[in-house]
Amino acid sequence: MTDAVADLVRDGDTVALEGFTHLIPVAAGQELIRQRKRDLTLVRMTPDIVYDQLIGAGCARKLIFSWGGNPGVGSLHRFRAAVQAGELEIEEHSHAGMANRYAAAASGLPFAVLRGYNGTSLPDHTDTIKPITCPFTGEQLTAVPALDLDVGIIHAQRADRQGNVQLWGQTGVQKETVLGARRSIVTVEEIVDELDDKPYSVVLPRWVVTRVCEVPGGAKPSYAQDYYDRDNDAYKAWDATSRDEAEFDKWLEAL
Amino acid sequence: MSSYESDEMMSVEAARQLREVTACFVGIGLPSTGANLARRTVNPDLVLVYEAGAIGAKPPRLPLSIGDGMLGETADYIASVPEIFNYWVQPGRIEVGFLGAAQLDRFANINTTVVGDYANPKVRLPGAGGAPEIAASCGEVIVIVRQSPRAFVERVDFITSVGHGDGPGARERLGLRGKGPTKVITDLGILEPDPESRELVLTHVHPGVSAEQAQEATGWDLKLADELKTTEPPTQEELKALRELVAA
């Protein structure tokens, strides 16, 4: 993983780390911090504690997102402090808008169309939300541009020895993150001889994945279905670390 | 009658709204409590839909997050996130959306983005999540929120999710297909939009709450329905189910 991050992520890149509560690539995110990556445009629908860590560590220039919080706990204090101090540029969407931006990237299209945002304040502050008229019915819809991803990073349950990746359970926008990015890194719980059937499984064939790395526990404190549960206490404990800048600096020092 | 907290009254009343409903899109927090209670009381067949992809989730306890493992493991089906919004929410397939709010105004517009100026916020909140499209496209929306002058404001600082916009005809002009908020359930009572003006009026108070208390907890001049009703207090059965759910 150290080599994959060093080889594939450059300062100034646009990088998405995805995983909707489940299979969040936390270990890979912390590797970005250790390697002191800078000026990144970070993309993620639900920036949670690993994005709070990346922002607090000074890796991000800009954040593209749709919901920034510590789920079930409260605020992300490093994120909040950076926004309130004007140190972090933000580009804010809804989940539907972000999901469609990923889908457009994976589809090789310049933009996606959805029925959304009308009447909200989001288009007043986000210039990647534009009205568009349906050429067939005349209906007023909304266009959002494809995400322009240099690197997509996800965590999966496993891969086989050829590098075919398999993930299952709630798989969010992970398929789109890999297919929509120029380069991709997938960390996995384990590498196995052969993949077998799993419920709601997504398989990413080896030739669309740039690098696969075996990182057991790489999604902790989030969860990996059939491997380990979400560590809710760690999410609660992060609140105190993140709230106090000195505590956060101590955490960063120890990473 | 046993004693209960005002938050319990709110969750019980929220659950009762789902008696006849097939599918409900569930936000995290208070909406999740109400929707899960409905499955344990008035509507065991209720289909709970969560934005991380679970359709027909049957969580054994309250999830801390909308993508909790138990939601996927107990679901009838798991959709990807683009699919959940494009195929399930957008066409209006979900009858009811259950949403929370940090701020709510007299036309039931919802703010979960910022308090104060967007570029220089007093308080930065988590943001939109799935709410704008839920509010736009679900058949109707029920908002569950504690009532206070800080939350119930004359004008929201940011419209994250559209309620009834600036009044009559607003949703139609904006092309929003769902009915929008039909009820706001609070810890003090129930507010509903007036059919003509679309402004929220107080239609119910919970037992032991006065209309004046509800008006004092509202940042605009809250009007009362011609016939102000009192909510049925929670039954023993409802309270037992709620307490078991919260403790599980």
Q: Please report the pLDDT score of residue A73 as a whole number.
A: 84
Give the residue among A20, A60, A78 at the shortest CA–CA distance from A44.
Answer: A20
Record: contact A100-B85, CB cut-off 8 A: yes
Q: Report the residue of B124, B141, B172 to disrupt the A interface, i.e. the one with the largest count of A CBs within 10 Å.
A: B124
Q: Which CATH number fits domain B6-247: 3.40.190.10, 3.30.2130.10, 2.10.10.90, 3.40.1080.10?
A: 3.40.1080.10
Inform me whether the pLDDT recorded for B89 exceeds 90: yes
Chain A contact set for B174 (CB, 8 A): 118-119
Q: Please report the pLDDT score of residue B197 as a whole number.
A: 97
Helices A49-56, A26-34: crossing angle, 10 deg rounding: 0
The model's confidence at residue A176, banded by pLDDT at 50, 70 and 90, is very high
- Dihedral sign computed on CA atoms, order A39, A43, A46, A48: negative
Average pLDDT on B186-208 reads: 98
Percent of chain A with pLDDT over 90: 94
Q: Please report the pLDDT score of residue B65 as a whole number.
A: 82
Inform me whether the pLDDT recorded for A162 exceeds 70: yes
The model's confidence at residue B2, banded by pLDDT at 50, 70 and 90, is low
Q: Please report the pLDDT score of residue B232 as a whole number.
A: 97
Average pLDDT on B42-51 reads: 97
Give the residue among B108, B106, B105, B107 at the shortest CA–CA distance from B97.
Answer: B108
What is chain A's percent helix, strand, coil content, to nearest 5? 30, 30, 40
Record: contact B82-A120, CB cut-off 8 A: no
Record: contact A99-B82, CB cut-off 8 A: yes
Q: Please report the pLDDT score of residue A83 as a whole number.
A: 86
* B112 CA: distance to closest CA in chain A (Å): 10
- Which phi and psi angles does B112 have, rounded to 5°? -130, 25
* Distance, CA of A222 to CA of A79 (rounded, Å): 19
Average pLDDT on A121-126 reads: 98
Average pLDDT on B96-114 reads: 97
Give the residue among A179, A183, A121, A185 at the shortest CA–CA distance from A146.
Answer: A179
Percent of chain B with pLDDT over 90: 91
Average pLDDT on B211-223 reads: 98
* A200 CA: distance to closest CA in chain B (Å): 7
Could you read off the pLDDT of A52-73 as tens digits, one per residue?
999 999 999 999 999 998 887 8
Q: Any chain B CB within 8 A of the CB of A172?
A: yes
Could you read off the pLDDT of B151-163 as tens digits, one per residue?
999 999 999 999 9
Inform me whether the pLDDT recorded for A219 exceeds 60: yes
Record: contact B160-A173, CB cut-off 8 A: no
Q: Please report the pLDDT score of residue B218 as a whole number.
A: 98
- Beta partners for residue A151, in sequence order: A15, A183
- Whether B51 is a known active-site residue: answer yes
Chain B contact set for A118 (CB, 8 A): 136, 162, 174-176
The model's confidence at residue A131, banded by pLDDT at 50, 70 and 90, is very high
Chain B contact set for A16 (CB, 8 A): none
Average pLDDT on A188-200 reads: 96
pTM of the model: 0.96
Chain B contact set for A71 (CB, 8 A): 28, 64-67
What residues does each domain of chain B span? 6-247
Average pLDDT on A43-59 reads: 96
- At position A154, the amino acid (one-letter code) is I
A 189-218 residues inside an 8 A Cβ radius of B: 199-200, 202
More confident residue, B203 or A116: B203
Q: How does the average pLDDT of chain B come out, rounded? A: 95
Q: What angle do CA A146, B65, B36 make, to 5 degrees?
A: 120
Record: contact B78-A169, CB cut-off 8 A: yes
Chain B contact set for A90 (CB, 8 A): none
Mean pLDDT lowest for which of A40-49, A83-92, A97-106, B194-203? A83-92
CA A199 to each of CA A170, A224, B77, B86: distance values in angstroms, whole numbers, following the listed order: 10, 14, 10, 22
A 30-89 residues inside an 8 A Cβ radius of B: 45-46, 65-69, 71-73, 75, 79-80, 83-84, 86
Q: Report the residue of B51, B65, B105, B157 to disrupt the A interface, i.e. the one with the largest count of A CBs within 10 Å.
A: B65
Nearest CA in chain A to B84: A96
Average pLDDT on B95-107 reads: 97
Average pLDDT on A86-107 reads: 97
**Bond before A199 cis per omega within 30 degrees:** no
Which of A67, A75, A118 has the CB atom closest to B136's CB atom?
A: A118
Inform me whether the pLDDT recorded for B1 exceeds 60: no
ipTM of this predicted complex?
Answer: 0.95
Q: Where are the alpha helices (DSSP H) in B6-146?
A: 6-16, 30-40, 69-73, 81-83, 131-137
Catalytic residue among B8, B13, B20, B51: B51
